[in-house]
A and B are shown apart, each in its own frame.
Chain A
Amino acid sequence: MPDMRFAPPNPLRIADRAAGLNATSVRSYNERLLLSLLLQNNGITRLEIGESTGLSAQTVSVLVRSLEQEGLVVKGKAQKGRVGPPTTPVSLNPEGAYSVGISIGNKRSHIVLIDFVGTIRFHATLPNPEPNSKSNHPEFLETIQRALEALPKGTQDRLAGIGLALPESRSGLVAGRSESKHKYAALQDEIEKEIGHAVFVQNDITAAAAGESMFGSAKPHADHLYFYLGHELHSRLVLNHQIYNGNSPLSFDIGLSALERRVIAGRLPAEPIWDRPLSWPDYGEALLRWEDELIDSMRGSIAALAQFVEIKTVILSSYIPEDICRDLCAKLGALLPNVMVVAGKSSPSPKAVGAASLPFSSRFMVE
């Protein structure tokens, strides 16, 4: 019988010493487990990694060393422990990987470049691409190219891919499904062909929820109800970090479109609602009445869901000014004493950041 102990060594990780990211196919489950863990708890020790993954110290040692060589993780400074020897924490390297996210919104598209810890390095807004007419289509592809050029010098090979967040339906509850998904289906192929990187597609609200879980306020909350406030109000249920992407296109027309109608009726300027400034003008009564209506609707959703699952955490994500978002959370939280209501991470485009999180989850994380 052949003695397999003395077959040529079969290194899982070290074989590829070339700079840049290793091929997707060789990324093992354990590496993904480790990277996912680091995303949740940046700066933990190898001992803690072993304790929470159940991997042996030697396996953790090999994984950390190879991911370090690949530039995906960095060793922190040794920290003197309260007792015992100093410990060296391990963290994700922000410059270890990058990703481009594209979201096609109701009126505009957003394109971002983010680093491995979710910091936006490039952000551009432009009108939606119109594949089948003379349009800004070249400008759209050019902007993606510009996002790639925003990669720091020498890191062009560190792009994990491009994420594309598409709306399920433009009119939601009101008119049923429209054809927007079909309309943009060709976009994936086209970007892959023109730009030359893998494109990962996801429903935009689910993508935004994924981005919030990976980089934002939802990180520590395995179970929560996620609200996305855009033109309309959307929601996703997240249980044990899994986003329930149901087939319901349900959304409520009490989002920013509803606010716009109130603002216009009050003869106030509505553009700031869509221009994503850091603060809004004083919308006075219009804002208060809209907030009440919105909060009522969210309460209704939470109450309806409570028949099936106990919701302890609610996250409200939006590109509205941070103070308005926090205000909404505080008001909703005051009405629901047993629920923690948290504002999503402030971002000019939660959907585009969510889109950019897709290549990371596909290439580096456990499902």
Chain B
Amino acid sequence: MRTVLCFGDSNTHGQIPGGTPLDRYGWTQRWPGVLARALGPKWYVIEEGLSGRTTVRDDPIEGVHKNGRRYLRPCLQSHAPLDLVIIMLGTNDLKARFQQPPSEVAMGIGCLIHDIKELAPGPGGHVSEVMIVAPPPMLDDIKEWEPIFSGAPEKSRRLALEFEIMADSLEVHFFDAGSVITCDPLDGFHINAEAHEALGVALAHEVETIGWSDHER
């Protein structure tokens, strides 16, 4: 059996567009659940989505626990051995309070990749496969979130290229979620059940395309 960790933010947690952090889609609707269904019984899917999670930034308002980098290491060690780590983060780094350009968000993604490589939580102490997923671009209308995410929609459209450059230079897998899904207009940055389904299916295809030899390592 192979194990994949899905490390993300509210869009991995399954927060319902237009709702609060308490409103969450069910397991079979959320993309990690769709991924589990699509990959079949040979894969064990671990879901690790936290609303407000950033790549590497301590959030002065929501708290330091939103910093993805602080939690990634214990999380990797808890769930090792991991054949694959999928990371879909970056949207929260675009909050006005962080004042970061897309390239700095990609640098944060780079840190997480380095941490995974250093920790080598794969089978037999090898480095896990890593897949960076660029989140779908935010819509221009982000409703009451405008002050918090001021300027973010424009930046969010440049994340995919910056992430791909990072994934390329650190030699990890990459997928642009914006190629298959869009955010829901209810709040402009969360994804609805339909998008979860499409993303889970697309990622299952990407995971399979990596190619996994039948003999276990």
Which residue of chain A has its CB nearest to the CB of B162?
A9
Residues of A contacting B214 in the complex (Cβ-Cβ under 8 angstroms): 83-84
A-B contact pairs, 6 of them (CB 8 A): A13-B168, A51-B213, A61-B210, A62-B171, A84-B214, A87-B208
In addition to A5-B111, A66-B168, A86-B208, 10 A-B residue pairs with Cβ atoms within 8 Å of each other are A5-B110, A11-B168, A14-B168, A46-B211, A57-B210, A61-B210, A62-B172, A84-B214, A85-B39, A87-B211
Answer whether residue A47 sits at the interface, using C-beta atoms and an 8 A cutoff. yes
Are B106 and A9 in touch, CB under 8 angstroms? Answer: yes
Residues in chain A near residue B107, CB distance under 8 A: 6, 9
Most chain-B Cβ atoms within 10 A of its Cβ — which of A51, A62, A84?
Answer: A62
Q: Which residues, 11 to 51 on B, are CB-close (under 8 Å) to A?
A: 39-40, 42
Report B107-133 residues with CB < 8 Å from chain A CB: 107, 110-111, 114, 129-130
Q: Is A313 an interface residue (CB 8 A)?
A: no
Query: Which residues on A sit within 8 Å (CB–CB) of B161?
Result: 14, 17
Cβ of A50 < 8 Å from any Cβ of B? yes
Query: 4 shortest A-B CB distances, which residue pairs?
Result: A47-B211, A11-B168, A9-B169, A85-B208
| CB within 8 Å for A59 and B171 given contacts A11-B165, A85-B40 | yes
B6 within 8 Å of A by Cβ?
Answer: no
Q: A47-B212, A57-B129 are in contact. Are A14 and B173 (CB under 8 A)?
A: no
Return chain A residues, CB-CB under 8 Å to B129.
Answer: 57-58
Q: Which of B156-201 contact A (CB under 8 A)?
A: 161, 164-174
* B residues near A56, Cβ cutoff 8 Å: 171
Contact partner of A14 (CB less than 8 A), chosen from B42, B164, B208, is B164
Contact residue among A9, A47, A58, A85 (Cβ-Cβ distance under 8 Å from B213): A47
Does chain A have a CB within 8 A of B209?
yes
- Among A9, A12, A59, A78: residue with most chain B CB under 10 A: A9
Q: In the complex, how many residue pairs between chain A and chain B have their CB atoms under 8 Å apart?
A: 80
Which of B40, B114, B173 lies in contact with A5, CB distance below 8 A? B114
Distance in angstroms from B179 CB to nearest chain A CB is 12
Contact between A12 and B168, CB atoms less than 8 A apart: yes
* Chain B residues in 8 Å Cβ range of A17: 161
Distance between Cα atoms of A59 and B130 in the complex (Å):
11
Contacts of A86 in B (CB 8 A): 208
State which residues 1-47 of A face B: CB under 8 Å. Answer: 5-6, 9-15, 17, 45-47
- What is the predominant secondary structure among interface residues of chain B facing chain A? helix
CA distance A230 to B194 in the complex (A): 65
Q: Which residues of B contact A (CB under 8 A)?
A: 39-40, 42, 106-107, 110-111, 114, 129-130, 161, 164-174, 205, 208-214
- A118 to nearest B CB, angstroms? 27
* Given known A58-B130, A58-B173, A85-B39, contact A15–B209 (CB-CB < 8 A): no
Residue of B nearest to A78 (CB): B205
Q: Say whether, besides A14-B168, A65-B174, A66-B168, A9 and B211 are in contact (CB < 8 Å).
A: no
Cβ proximity bits A72-89 to B, threshold 8 Å, 1 near / 0 not: 000000100001111110
A residues 141-200 touching B (CB-CB < 8 Å) = none
Alpha-carbon distance A298/B211, docked complex (angstroms): 47
Residue of B nearest to A46 (CB): B211
Decide: B169 and A10 in contact? CB cutoff 8 A: yes
B48 to chain A, nearest CB (A): 21
- A6, A45, A47, A61 interface centre (most CB from chain B within 10 Å): A61
Q: Is A9 touching B173 in the complex (CB atoms < 8 A)? A: no
Complex alpha-carbon distance, A11 and B174, angstroms: 13
Q: How far is the CB of A79 from chain B (nearest CB, A)?
A: 11
**In contact, B130 and A62 (Cβ under 8 angstroms):** no
Shortest Cβ distance from residue B169 to the other chain A in the assembled complex, whole angstroms? 4
Tell me how far the C-beta of A98 lies from the nearest C-beta in chain B, rounded to whole angstroms: 27
Known A-B contacts A14-B168, A58-B171; A6 and B208 likewise in contact (beta carbons under 8 Å): no
Q: Chain A contacts of B211 at CB under 8 A? A: 45-48, 50, 57, 60, 87
- A60 CA to B210 CA in the complex, in Å? 9
- Residues in B whose Cβ lies below 8 Å from that of A11: 164-166, 168-169
Given contacts A6-B107, A6-B111, contact A62 B208 (CB under 8 A): no
How far does the alpha carbon of A48 sit from the alpha carbon of B171 in the complex, in Å? Answer: 18
Q: How far is the CB of B130 from chain A (nearest CB, A)?
A: 7
Q: Which residue of A lies closest to B213 (CB)?
A: A47
Minimal beta-carbon separation of B148 from chain A (angstroms)? 28
A15 touches B165 (CB 8 A): yes
A267 vs B208: C-alpha distance in the bound complex, in angstroms? 68
Complex Cα distance A17/B161, Å? 10
Q: Judge whether A9 and B170 touch: CB under 8 Å.
A: yes
